[in-house]
Amino acid sequence: MVVRRKPKSVDEFISGSPNGADVRPLDTELQQLRAEIQQLKMTNYGGEEVQQIAPDQILPLAVANGLGQPRKYFNPAGMERLEASIRHKGIQEPLLLRSTASGLQIVSGERRWRCAVNLRLATVPCIVREFSDEEALEIALVANLMREDLNPIEETDNLIGLMELKLGQPRDSVPGLLIQLKNARQRDTLDDDKSRLITQIEDVLAAFSITLDTFVSNRLPLLNLPPVLLDAVRQGNIEFSKAQLIARLPDALQASTLELAIKEDLTKDALKEHLRQVKAQPKDKPEALLLRDRIHVSYQRLRSKKTWKQLEQNTALKKRMEKLEAEMQRILEQLSD
């Protein structure tokens, strides 16, 4: 079962505990936490710990500095499969909650909770524990990193969050610190403090079979994705693999293509075909290409049921749309002459 840990200071992580006793390496601690989370999945429902709690009495995780559930993207298809499973078999793994002044917060199990809300279940099985902000976020991060469907940006964000938590470094400074330490080691200019810090960082990464060098070389560059695409992935609006495809387009076309992919929920194959058509346009006419892309996005938005419902309810807008359609027909007729 997941046990409560006494939070450790950064000095304790680097130099040892105040009384001189050795502190467990972080990889050992994280491996134990992973084992405990796995054990939680096997909790006996007949145990006294499991409580039945109404979904509307449960809140998403929220900790200091605005941090919360590290998982940002909930794959719609995956959520539908989980919802179907819960509808048929019920929730097979209890949610892990913590008690706070604002109410019960989810430490692990937000997907199950969201499905329970959608299915309007009366109660969900839960285990309630007392966790500090640090403990709750650590468990949420590690549990999230154990997911099989974690995309590379989510994994990178979660590992940076875990290092922020374990090393006491501001999140924004972690990537720069990692690069600095990697370069110092390559130049053989490490002092004792930096060597100990590298050991702590590699302990965190080793628990997930990653090294400092590979993290800096292969993972941190993922965060250089154009901001509009990176934000879309983090907010769960689009999958990482689709954002990678859109990033291949010129900057001027990325935002409109992203909007199209989200609005139409394009499959990866459909998005590839769209990009192929865009790239096939003459390169000496960027203005026409951009106009074509904008018109396509507008057309897709107009096809939505919500838009047509609004038009049916607004006579003035409907008349303007009819005039616009007539003008488009005249343009097309001129083009065909």
Question: What is the 3-state secondary structure of 200-220?
Answer: HHHHHHHCCCCCHHHHHHHHH
pLDDT higher for 241 or 312?
241
Q: Which residues are CB-neighbours of 10 under 8 A, at least 6 positions away?
A: 167, 168
d(CA 182, CA 201): 11
> What is residue 51's predicted lDDT score, i.e. its pLDDT?
92
d(CA 146, CA 36): 12
213 pLDDT above the threshold of 90: yes
- Tokens 């838009």 belong to 307
d(CA 23, CA 11): 11
> What is residue 205's predicted lDDT score, i.e. its pLDDT?
87
**Domain 41-149 falls in which CATH fold?**
3.90.1530
Q: In what order do the strands lie in the sheet with 124-129?
A: 51-53, 124-129, 95-100, 103-108, 58-59
204 pLDDT above the threshold of 90: no
pLDDT in tens, 272-301: 988 888 887 766 554 445 666 667 667 666
> What is residue 165's predicted lDDT score, i.e. its pLDDT?
80
Is the pTM higher than 0.75? The answer reads no
> What is residue 336's predicted lDDT score, i.e. its pLDDT?
75
> What is residue 280's predicted lDDT score, i.e. its pLDDT?
77
Per-residue pLDDT, averaged over 299-307, amounts to 67
pLDDT in tens, 125-164: 999 999 888 888 888 878 877 776 677 888 888 889 888 8
Residue 276, CA atoms < 13 Å, CB-side half-sphere: 6
CA dihedral 294, 295, 298, 304 (to 10 degrees): -130
Dihedral of alpha carbons 21, 23, 28, 29, sign? positive
48 band by pLDDT with thresholds 50, 70 and 90? low
- Tokens 């309630």 belong to 128
- Tokens 């990009």 belong to 275
Closest CA to 136 of 88, 187, 170, 102: 102
Query: Cα–Cα–Cα angle for 39, 37, 149, nearest 5°?
Result: 115
168 band by pLDDT with thresholds 50, 70 and 90? confident
113 band by pLDDT with thresholds 50, 70 and 90? very high
Of 100-109, 153-162, 273-282, 305-314, the range with the lowest mean pLDDT is 305-314
pLDDT higher for 40 or 112?
112
Q: What percent of the chain has pLDDT over 70?
A: 75
d(CA 27, CA 32): 8
Per-residue pLDDT, averaged over 42-65, amounts to 78
Average pLDDT, the chain: 80
> What is residue 332's predicted lDDT score, i.e. its pLDDT?
84
DSSP string for 283-310: TT-HHHHHHHHHHHHHHHHHTSHHHHHH
Token pair of 126, please?
């839960």
> What is residue 1's predicted lDDT score, i.e. its pLDDT?
40
Residue 238, CA atoms < 13 Å, CB-side half-sphere: 27
> What is residue 326's predicted lDDT score, i.e. its pLDDT?
86
Q: Which residues are CB-neighbours of 105 under 8 A, at least 6 positions away?
A: 58, 59, 60, 61, 62, 97, 98, 136
Give the number of other CB atoms < 10 A from CB of residue 127. Answer: 20
d(CA 2, CA 109): 14
Closest CA to 167 of 14, 322, 325: 14
41 pLDDT above the threshold of 70: no
56 pLDDT above the threshold of 70: yes
Of 89-93, 193-197, 231-235, 252-256, the range with the lowest mean pLDDT is 231-235
123 pLDDT above the threshold of 60: yes
> What is residue 85's predicted lDDT score, i.e. its pLDDT?
95
The residues spanned by each domain of the chain are: 41-149, 241-302, 304-337
Amino acid at site 337:
D
67 band by pLDDT with thresholds 50, 70 and 90? low
Amino acid at site 264:
E
Residue 171: C-alpha distances to residues 67, 168, 264, 300 (Å): 11, 9, 34, 39
Per-residue pLDDT, averaged over 119-123, amounts to 96
d(CA 160, CA 152): 12
> What is residue 59's predicted lDDT score, i.e. its pLDDT?
94
> What is residue 265's predicted lDDT score, i.e. its pLDDT?
85
Token pair of 275, please?
């990009």
